[in-house]
Structure 1
Amino acid sequence: MHSAIPLTEKVFWVGVNDHETDLFEALWPLPYGISYNAYLIVDDRTVLVDAVKGHFLDEHVNRIREALPAGRSIDYLVVNHVEPDHTGALRILRELFPSIRVVGNKKTLELLAGFYGAGGDTHVVQDGDVLDLGTHRLTFHLTPMVHWPETMMTFEASTGILFSGDAFGGYGTVDRGLFDDEMDLAFFESETLRYYANIIGRYSQMVQKAIAKVGTLGIKILAPTHGAVWRTQPRVAVDWYDRWSRQETKSAAVVAYGSMYGNTQKMAERVARALVDAGIRTLVHNLSHSHASYVLRDIWTSRALVLASPTYNTGLFPTMDDLVRLLENKLIKDRLLGVVGSYGWTGGAAKALTAFAERSKWRIVEPVVEVRCAAGDQDLERCAQLGRNLAAAVRA
């Protein structure tokens, strides 16, 4: 069944749910799927706000046709974000609705031409421009680098709907409930945080600017391109993004380790045990089993991090090397770091982790524990001391 879902009397959700894609951006796991949200406004002129991934075109078009009055077509397609999971249907939409006019800012139209070729009717908007549909009026707010250079948000004043693009979105399909009052918000917060840490987090400074820009609009309904539509508590999603983009942390720690034969694991577990004994909520990730998507999520809101790695070909264990590169790329700042390393015939892991902390301007909590081969009782006691010192630093 292909049902358009009303947000208001004249505004409809015409998006799709994706249970087929295993990895978002071919990187991030989707165990609960993802939605591609699009919205249709029916007025004197009809507007489709964002579209969907091309693979799901049939379902998308069926919902559009269900919501369109008989004999009507689409006058405008507003593109808040060019990424192909929101524009993959563009070519076919132009064929099905030949009079459609694509609305976007200058960068939007440049990128669309790059992905899909030039052609079709277009309308360029600048920051603050208004598109009058009859009863509804759309105002465009440019929010560059949230998280592409062309991203913008579209506000409809009469309904108070902010079509926010990827901002305020999250992982997970919406077939079990589109609206915030229909969802398990504790579960959805976790998947939204994971989405934020994976996709948006690097651009936190620009998220702060965007929140300041649209924060006075009188938002009644928050309609992103992924995840829940917030019709009851739109401020909750904005507050989540506000906290995460400020990189506010909790009194918690993450212990992430790589281990080939269990020796580094034994040290990491001793640090974790000391943290737990000291009353610090601690999450432990074996990087050979935990996908970086979940590790990033947990690190994003934790004050302290322990990185434990064996030396591998004079450098970091590969899964740890991948994580460190991601942490640097995401611009995570102001964390406490405990360093644990091991080696057989030559060192290298502890030195590499210490260098990472210095580059990132993180505070290293002593002692740095590095062990040749396997840890003895004294080495394990130093690991426990590191855990106690980290706990004290977290509480401070």
Structure 2
Amino acid sequence: MRPVELSKNVYWVGAVDWLTRDFHGYSTERGTTYNAYLIIDEKVTLIDTVKSGYCHELMHRIRNIIDPKKIDYLIVNHVEMDHSGSLPQVVQEIQPEKIICSKMGQKALTQHFHQPDWPYHVVTPGEELRLGPNKTLSFVETRMLHWPDSMFSYLKEDQILFSSDAFGEHLASSERFDDEVNQDVLMHEATKYYANILTLYSPIVKKLIAQVEAMHLPLKMIAPDHGIIWRKNPKKIIDAYSRWCVNESNGKALVIYDSMWHSTEMMAKSIAGGLQDKGISYKLLNLQVNHHSEVMCDVLEAGAVILGCPTLNNGLLPRMAGFLMYMRGLRPTNKIGAAFGSYGWSGEAVKLMNTAMSEMNFRLIHPGLRVQYVPEHGQLQECVELGHIVGQALLDAKAGNKAV
């Protein structure tokens, strides 16, 4: 793939990773990209690099535009290794006049690469960097979105926001822009990206969006470090982040469960029936066949999360235990919660799931349902009733236009 021009003398020169299927526990079934950008003016500037192993693609695309040795500035918006893994090779080849980063970026780069003598140039929030007569960059610190070093770079004349890990998706594609790809696929991957990477940092996202809006930056494009570039409608992804960062509910319910011999599964289906009685849209998600990162994509916007698991060795089945650890790390909020499960002789699973949801500040509206061995008709009716209770709580929240 050749470089792609975003606007006059501004190019995408990154790499497409068609093969990766796991990103530290996050399933990436559509691959990903490592985006880097080249700006041509009196001072030639490269924004970010690529993951180790993809440096040859980066340098090949740059050479299609300019001799890499003519690059003066190298901007590091984010030090995580999928963007800086090839940095030592790039620095060695281009010998930049400046490596531009945040204060925390310099610290992280030094700790990662042990190169205290690199030509670091630390920028402060709002600082402008003139590249020549036609291009001016300014910088927005985005600390803990999602690393301490993170920052945005804004190209004033072209109105392009280089947004590091924000507003991206893990999506390998021969297309580079939002108007060139399937919109359902695009928004699913953008939702999944936020749910699995940024949910924990939602309060910071909320403050950042308010900060950027207060700056009144005109935006023609948002160019993230992963996925496609938003040129047709940058506001679409900003509006989505505005909803996600305040945990806005879609009023739907999730029944997330695992089962050994189908007893807990019978309970799950009966609870789903109760939700349906109340007219509630729901998903029945068996952890045996649904990856935890896909489940979190649904959790992000769900109004209610109902967890089901049988007891195993006085605890949980491994898949549910793993999912709870993963979800607690991301800390989704503003959810109605309930738990259920079958057991043989002890029955601790429901209590453990309730505890986990309480720690995430879910609003538990039922003490939980436990059934020994195989549920009978009357016990399944109790499950239906649990579905009614959760469904009514969702309806009440919607009618009152209040948080669940």
TM score, norm. by length of structure 1: 0.96
- Give the partner amino acid of 1:264: T
CA deviation after TM superposition for structure 1 residue 199, in Å:
0.9
- 2:87 corresponds to: 90
Q: Report if aligned partners of 2:69, 2:95 keep a CA contact under 8 Å in 1.
A: no
Pair 1:112 & 2:141 matched: no
Q: Deviations over 1:266-316 (max 9, x none)?
A: 111111122133321111111122110011110110101110010111112
- 1:24 corresponds to: 23
- 1:257 corresponds to: 257
Q: Report if aligned partners of 1:256, 1:308 keep a CA contact under 8 Å in 2.
A: yes
Distance (whole Å) between structure 2 residues aligned to residue 325 and residue 290 of structure 1: 16
CA deviation after TM superposition for structure 1 residue 100, in Å:
4.5
Pair 1:172 & 2:143 matched: no
Distance (whole Å) between structure 1 residues aligned to residue 221 and residue 160 of structure 2: 5
Distance (whole Å) between structure 1 residues aligned to residue 260 and residue 6 of structure 2: 53
- 1:288 corresponds to: 288
- 2:239 corresponds to: 239
Gaps of 5+ in 1: none
Distance (whole Å) between structure 2 residues aligned to residue 358 and residue 158 of structure 1: 49
| 1:77 aligned residue (74, 77, 87) | 74
Distance (whole Å) between structure 2 residues aligned to residue 392 and residue 224 of structure 1: 41
CA RMSD between the two structures? 1.4
Q: Deviations over 1:316-372 (max 9, x none)?
A: 222111222222221211211121122101120111122223322222233621111
- 1:348 corresponds to: 348
- Give the partner amino acid of 2:319: T
- 1:382 corresponds to: 382
Q: Report if aligned partners of 1:310, 1:343 keep a CA contact under 8 Å in 2.
A: yes
Aligned pairs (5 A) from 1:1-396? 2-25=1-24, 27-68=25-66, 73-118=70-115, 119-134=117-132, 135-175=134-174, 177-215=175-213, 216-366=216-366, 368-396=368-396
C-alpha change, 1:80 and 1:213, in structure 2 (3 Å) is: same
Q: Report if aligned partners of 1:40, 1:67 keep a CA contact under 8 Å in 2.
A: no
CA deviation after TM superposition for structure 1 residue 384, in Å:
0.5
- Give the partner amino acid of 1:24: F
Q: Report if aligned partners of 2:257, 2:287 keep a CA contact under 8 Å in 1.
A: yes
Q: What stretches of structure 1 move > 4 A for 4+ residues in a row? A: none
Q: Report if aligned partners of 2:255, 2:306 keep a CA contact under 8 Å in 1.
A: yes
Distance (whole Å) between structure 2 residues aligned to residue 71 and residue 64 of structure 1: 6
Distance (whole Å) between structure 2 residues aligned to residue 360 and residue 166 of structure 1: 25
Distance (whole Å) between structure 2 residues aligned to residue 55 and residue 391 of structure 1: 50
Q: Report if aligned partners of 2:62, 2:68 keep a CA contact under 8 Å in 1.
A: no
CA deviation after TM superposition for structure 1 residue 165, in Å:
0.4
Percent of aligned pairs sharing the same letter: 35
TM score, norm. by length of structure 2: 0.94
Where 1:75 maps in the other structure, the secondary structure is strand
Where 2:229 maps in the other structure, the secondary structure is coil
Q: Report if aligned partners of 1:94, 1:100 keep a CA contact under 8 Å in 2.
A: no
Q: Report if aligned partners of 1:367, 1:386 keep a CA contact under 8 Å in 2.
A: no
73-82 or 354-363: bigger deviation: 354-363
Q: Report if aligned partners of 2:251, 2:302 keep a CA contact under 8 Å in 1.
A: yes
Gaps of 5+ in 2: 397-404
273-282 or 9-18: bigger deviation: 273-282
Q: Deviations over 1:219-268 (max 9, x none)?
A: 11110101110111001011111111111010111111011111111111
Where 1:6 maps in the other structure, the secondary structure is strand
Q: Report if aligned partners of 2:26, 2:293 keep a CA contact under 8 Å in 1.
A: yes
- 2:401 corresponds to: none
Q: Report if aligned partners of 1:144, 1:151 keep a CA contact under 8 Å in 2.
A: yes
- Give the partner amino acid of 1:257: Y
